[in-house]
């Protein structure tokens, strides 16, 4: 019998989110209160508590993820970021021309800041006592988050889908778990196809909005003469901007969902196991829009349920397709990592997210 005929069939391990809105509400409301009382200082520990809850509520193959970060390290990262922001604000206020130097410094600092934050969160995330890691160099970060987006902008967004693919490659292909690499790979044309669909839907929604707007103006013109004669030009400008921006807000969740499906479903781990994401872009859009509406109606108090609701749907559509038994494989990886003694912590890694 051939080797292909004896190969074991892959095993499917669906992801599952077991958190609840009420449980997260208790964490969220305490985080909010302590952040206000401490004038924002507690927000670093609030982030740790939130991530620990969401990681601990995410299960696959009978085990949950964990998060080990220190709020103190996050606070240091935020203090550095705020110090840079304050220096930028003050220096450009007194010497506006110095902005050019800040832009150049930003292009140099941003890759290090991004790498440090991603590495910090990866190294503080674990699954079955094995840590993740992020190994990108600052040069790779510069290419992915500075150079390619810049080229995408100056080419009138023609290269933007390619820049998006490079960013996804940078983020996924430099992550490891127990020293074994993740790798995503997919044709560039598929990313272009996603943006083409988005552009088409955007144009359709915009055309509908403009059509309705002109129709409303015509009706008002006939019944009330010139109802917009005394409307300030600035207000008209805001209305026009809103009409062009609204379609983007409506399609953004769907575009993001299609990109996640593409990148996740093209991801292999250790050349053996793969991920499969089958989220419905329209379903995600509906969840996001209704979440925003309910948050507005409840003055923000629905937010914990909104976040849990979205996470539960996203995890329900994500599957680990493993070639073999996960328990034995993780044990093998754990033994090999323990022998190597990979260093997990780093004094130069901070989370700069604000």
Question: From first to last of its 354 residues, what are the pLDDT tens digits of the chain?
Answer: 444 445 568 889 999 999 999 999 999 999 999 999 999 999 999 999 999 999 999 999 999 999 999 888 888 888 888 888 898 889 888 888 888 888 888 888 889 888 988 999 999 999 998 999 999 999 999 999 999 999 999 999 999 999 999 999 999 999 999 889 999 999 999 999 999 999 999 999 999 988 887 787 777 666 666 655 566 666 667 777 888 888 899 999 999 999 999 999 999 999 889 999 999 999 999 999 999 999 999 999 999 999 999 999 999 999 999 987 777 777 666 666 544 433 334 444 556 554
- 80 located within any domain: no
- Angle at Cα 353 formed by Cα 252 and Cα 37, nearest 5°? 110
Give the residue carrying structure tokens 């996804």: 168
* Secondary structure class of 329 (helix, strand, coil): helix
- 217 located within any domain: yes
Structural domain range at position 227? 186-245
Q: Which helix (H) or strand (E) holds 118?
A: helix 99-123
Paired strand residues for 9: none
d(CA 278, CA 292): 23
Number of separate domains in the chain: 1
- Angle at Cα 233 formed by Cα 230 and Cα 236, nearest 5°? 95
**Residue 211: predicted pLDDT:** 86
- 20 located within any domain: no
* pLDDT tens, position by position, 227-271: 555 666 666 677 778 888 888 999 999 999 999 999 999 999 998
Dihedral through CA 168, CA 169, CA 175, CA 176, nearest 10? Answer: 140
d(CA 140, CA 137): 5
- 229 located within any domain: yes
* Secondary structure class of 131 (helix, strand, coil): strand
- Rounded to two decimals, the pTM is 0.87
318 neighbors 14 (Cβ within 8 angstroms): yes
d(CA 237, CA 244): 11
Which of 7, 135, 56, 62 lies closest to 330, judged by CA?
Answer: 62
- 226 located within any domain: yes
In 21-50, which positions are buried (b, 16+ CB within 10 angstroms) versus exposed (e)?
A: beebbebbeebeeebeeeeeebbbbbbbbb
- 91 located within any domain: no
């Amino acid at each position: 019998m051939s080797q292909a005929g004896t190969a074991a069939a892959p095993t499917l391990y669906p992801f599952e989110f077991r958190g609840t809105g009420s449980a997260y509400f208790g964490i969220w409301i305490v985080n909010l209160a302590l952040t206000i009382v401490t004038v924002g200082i507690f927000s670093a520990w609030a982030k740790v508590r939130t991530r620990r809850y969401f990681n601990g509520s995410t299960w696959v193959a009978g085990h949950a993820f964990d998060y080990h970060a220190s709020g103190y390290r996050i606070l240091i990262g935020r203090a550095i970021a705020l110090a840079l922001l304050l220096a930028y604000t003050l220096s450009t206020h007194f010497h506006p021309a110095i902005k050019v130097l800040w832009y150049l410094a930003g292009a140099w600092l941003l890759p290090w800041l991004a790498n440090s934050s991603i590495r910090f969160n990866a190294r503080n995330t674990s699954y079955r006592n094995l840590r993740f890691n992020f190994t990108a160099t600052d040069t790779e970060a510069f290419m992915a988050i500075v150079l390619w987006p810049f080229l995408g902008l100056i080419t009138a967004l023609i290269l933007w889908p390619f820049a998006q693919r490079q960013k996804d490659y940078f983020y996924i292909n430099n992550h490891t778990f127990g020293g074994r690499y993740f790798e995503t790979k997919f044709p560039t044309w598929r990313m272009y196809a996603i943006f083409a669909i988005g552009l088409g839907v955007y144009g359709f929604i915009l055309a509908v909005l403009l059509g309705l707007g002109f129709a409303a103006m015509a009706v008002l013109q006939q019944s009330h003469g010139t109802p917009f004669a005394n409307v300030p030009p600035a207000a008209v400008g805001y209305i026009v901007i809103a009409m062009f921006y609204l379609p983007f807000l409506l399609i953004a969740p769907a575009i993001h969902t299609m990109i996640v499906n593409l990148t996740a479903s093209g991801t292999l781990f250790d050349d053996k196991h793969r991920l499969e994401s089958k989220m419905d872009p329209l379903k995600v859009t509906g969840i996001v829009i209704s979440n925003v509406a309910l948050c507005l109606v409840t003055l923000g108090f629905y937010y914990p349920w909104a976040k849990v609701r979205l996470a539960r749907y996203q995890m329900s559509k994500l599957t680990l397709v493993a070639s073999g038994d996960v328990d034995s494989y993780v044990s093998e990886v754990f033994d090999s990592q323990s022998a190597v003694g990979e260093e997990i912590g780093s004094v130069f890694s901070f989370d700069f997210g604000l």
